[in-house]
Amino acid sequence: MEVSHNESMSLNETFDSQAVLQRIHDYLVTSYLPLMIWLGITCVIGVLGNIETIVFYGWNTKASSTKIFITWLAASDLLVCAMMIDQIVELNINVHFSNRHHCKIRYFIEYAGIYSSGILLTIISVDRFRKVCRFSKKQFSIKSTQCASSITVCLCVLFNLRLLFLIDVVDVPVPTLSDPIQTAVVVDVPVPTLSDPIQTAVGHDCSFSKDPDLSTLVFVSHAADFIFLLACLTIMTICYGRLYFHIRKHSQQLSSYIAQARFKNSSDPVMRSITTCQSENASVFHSLGDAERRLTHMMALKALWFVLCYVPYLVLSVFLEFNNESERSFVLRPGVQFALRLPHFNSVINPIVFILLNPQYRSFVRRQVVPAFTGSSLSTSQHKI
């Protein structure tokens, strides 16, 4: 009889735990709804925008090293944006997540795309620096650019195979009493007295493994991510910083040259015609400089956005990894979930920057989008820009 009573209590506790976990799940789905909507919107923008970028820079412009790198970058960003669909599914499942293989494969694909995007952005910064500031030296050829891009993607895939061993479905104990996100109130658990035990409902999350045998490898993995971000940040800062001062100095020298030439030669008809010719040549050179500056500005903005997305993500990831107590229900907060998905938003910004700063790209997108909504046809002259 006593055994039956104990079994009954055990079944009741299991039932209560499952009921509490279900209520927490329902509450989190409601809390995550704005984030899921935002992910859905950015997913559509990112997928369509990066496809447009691949088509535009891959087939509708004259091939150059930077444009080939941009095409590969857009392909990496497209992969990351497509994985936002999986992020929405995970947010909807939240504490009920249990598929280990799904968890490992998702992390592997996302990290491979994210690493490829970061390294390609870094190579683009070096390419822009050499093209503008070291134009007399050897540049990336079309063939070497394709090889560098292919090797980058392959290395990123190989390096992130580590995640197939380090990522797992981990338990997330969610206290139902005295909980930081007030799940006690959400699931209608009575407020405890000092003598009441703090009960927990165990949920699940897809994250780095908590296996003690893998703790060293997990630490090394986080260190590698930190070094990767630091290296990308350092190289991009140096390249774009020197580019900024070089372009600024060149613009000042060009303006001074044109002004002095016009002043000195304005009284002599022959010299005036020579000056006019020089000014026209300078204008052509200045126009080419504008194109180079515009492309440099676009990629610099992309690099800046990369840093803004990855620094908070990396800091939060390390904080969660080495503060186990805070990783309980804290990781379930909507704000934390948003921060953990910042790298995905980095992959959306590329086509937005191009639309804002590149008239040719904007015209190309307009020719694609307007007929789709109006049924009319626009002029689609296929000259390479």
User: pLDDT tens digit string along 104-137?
Assistant: 998 899 899 989 988 999 999 898 888 877 776 7
Residue 380 belongs to a domain: no
pLDDT score recorded for residue 277: 44
pLDDT score recorded for residue 49: 92
Q: Quote the pTM value.
A: 0.77
Q: Which domain holds residue 35?
A: 10-188+200-374
Identify the residue whose tokens are 């989008």.
369
pLDDT score recorded for residue 38: 92
Mind listing the pLDDT tens digit for each residue in 169-206?
A: 887 776 554 444 444 334 443 333 334 444 567 778 88
Task: Read off the CATH number of the domain in which 164 is found.
Answer: 1.20.1070.10
Q: What percent of the chain has pLDDT over 90?
A: 19
Residue 298 belongs to a domain: yes
Identify the residue whose tokens are 């050897």.
138
pLDDT score recorded for residue 78: 93
Contact (Cβ atoms closer than 8 angstroms) between residue 45 and residue 31? no
Domains: count for the chain: 1
Residue 5 belongs to a domain: no
pLDDT score recorded for residue 129: 85
Mind listing the pLDDT tens digit for each residue in 265-299?
A: 555 554 444 444 444 444 434 444 566 677 778 88
| Structure-derived torsion over alpha carbons of residues 50, 52, 58, 61, reported in degrees to the nearest 10 | -130
Residue 195 belongs to a domain: no
Residue 1 belongs to a domain: no
Residue 81 belongs to a domain: yes
Residue 57 belongs to a domain: yes
Residue 2 belongs to a domain: no
Q: Residue type at 363?
A: S
Using 50 as the pLDDT threshold, list the residues of the chain that sit under it. 1-15, 177-198, 270-288, 326, 380-382
Provide the CB-side half-sphere exposure for 131 (13 A, CA).
20
CA 375, distance to chain mean position in Å, is 34
